[in-house]
Amino acid sequence: ILETGLVMDLAIVKAWKADPSGNLVFRKTARNFNAPAATCGQVCVAEVEEIVPLGALDPDAIHLPGIYVHRIVQGPHEKRIEQRTTRKREPAL
């Protein structure tokens, strides 16, 4: 079966770290589909938690080369913490 690839006008991905040349490192579940989705876009915008100096990323740890990234945005990082809320159990009848 031969299928044509997806082509998007804009791909927006979220990454953990980036360097100024656009190399991205993903973390946790973002590693699943962000890299293939970024390669499908004609323009790729990456929102990152941290921008590190050039050469600070290990070349073997880079998940998406900078050739696919057109813009880098360092957004505010919210560390969301889930809180468990429980109630007392009713006694069984």
Instruction: Note the pLDDT tens digit of each residue in 1-35.
Output: 788 888 899 999 999 999 999 999 999 888 999 99
Residue 82 confidence class, pLDDT cut points 50, 70, 90: confident
Q: In this predicted structure, which of 11-15, 56-60, 73-77, 87-91 has the lowest mean pLDDT? A: 87-91
Task: List Cβ<8 Å contacts ≥24 apart for 32-41.
Answer: 34/63, 34/64, 35/63, 35/64, 37/8, 37/11, 37/13, 38/11, 38/13, 38/64, 38/68, 38/69, 39/11, 39/64, 39/68, 40/5, 40/6, 40/7, 40/8, 40/11, 41/8, 41/9, 41/10, 41/11
Mean pLDDT of 72-78: 87
- Quote the pLDDT of residue 90: 83
